[in-house]
Structure 1
């Protein structure tokens, strides 16, 4: 009595026998080769998960049906993403941004800092993040966030001192 092939052996045979056909199918229906590769990968992921449900005598057409559904899901997802992006663009086109009121010396000193320091200081000053939240935003420990913030503040203080020694103070005697 012949033993049924294992799920892994059945999947390998299915992959070997159908990969090129599915790739060609996807390439003829999507706009980019990497999208076609994603369709094929997602199709075989479904096949692996449902290997026992695939009809042995109709595996190839079953895979084409899965690929067709994968592409339809991707198209719906892209359409939703594009609609959302358009709604956001329209909403943002009506938004007004009020720049923060920053004294000239502070702005000049701030501009001399590296971008990483400026972003860190903006997250704290403008967005109101504390050390715990800053750590989450930076993807580091709270201690590391505190150290980075301390160093950025120190560099800002040094830059402020430099700006104040090179920029003449205004007189209010007039």
Structure 2
């Protein structure tokens, strides 16, 4: 038996003998079962990478608990950071987004429906330039096409969007003013 095979066999035994206990350990310490699965997966990933450090016998379980404890600690700290970031982002969004009059919402929904009728590349070109404020050469870099393709697609997409929205899209440029303010997707 080669040393690689012996290593794999030992790891399989350690995994099989400790998986359920480590999963129970993690489940008791997190809110979501998926988080517990992540903690256990990360624990065994560390064990695989540091297999030479795993003690023999019953001490292996204690070593794994120690690794799981550190992984869990990192996971919980990451959750706190994500939550703080989420709070800051929600504060910035609520300050930046003002309620729209219902006619503007209706206009935006009409534009959103018209956008859905465009081809994928035409829609993406239009959205990158209108929503993200990218120049055609920048959109070309994002889409990995030539700037000439973007300019052609942009011209065609604008014309088709005006066609889909109707003959009276409001004041000149209104369709693109409406387009510049994203509509939240349904269900969000």
TM-score (norm 1): 0.70
> Corresponding residue for 2:158?
153
* CA gap 1:108/1:38 in 2 versus in 1, 3 angstroms: closer
Secondary structure of the structure 1 residue equivalent to 2:96:
coil
| Equivalent residue runs for 1:1-174 within 5 Å | 6-57=6-57, 58-95=59-96, 110=111, 113-115=114-116, 117=118, 120-135=125-140, 137=142, 140-143=143-146, 146=150, 148-159=153-164, 162-164=166-168
Q: Which runs of 5+ in 1 are unaligned?
A: 100-105, 168-174
Could you tell me which runs of 5 or more consecutive residues in structure 2 were left unpaired when the two chains were aligned.
101-106, 171-188
Q: Partners in 2 of 1:152 and 1:13 — Cα distance?
A: 60
The 3 A distance-change label for structure 1 pair 157 and 49 is same
Cα distance in structure 1, aligned partners of 2:131 and 2:11: 54
CA distance in 2, matches of 1:111, 1:9: 56
Preserved contact between residue 131 and residue 142 of structure 1 (Cα < 8 Å): no
Deviation for aligned residue 1:7: 1.7
Query: How far did residue 8 of structure 1 move?
Result: 1.2
Q: Over alpha carbons, which structure has the higher Rg?
A: 1
User: What is the count of residue pairs matched by the alignment?
Assistant: 156
The verdict on how the C-alpha distance between 1:136 and 1:115 changes in structure 2, with shifts beyond 3 A counting, is: farther
CA distance in 1, matches of 2:124, 2:113: 13
Q: TM-score, normalised by structure 2?
A: 0.65
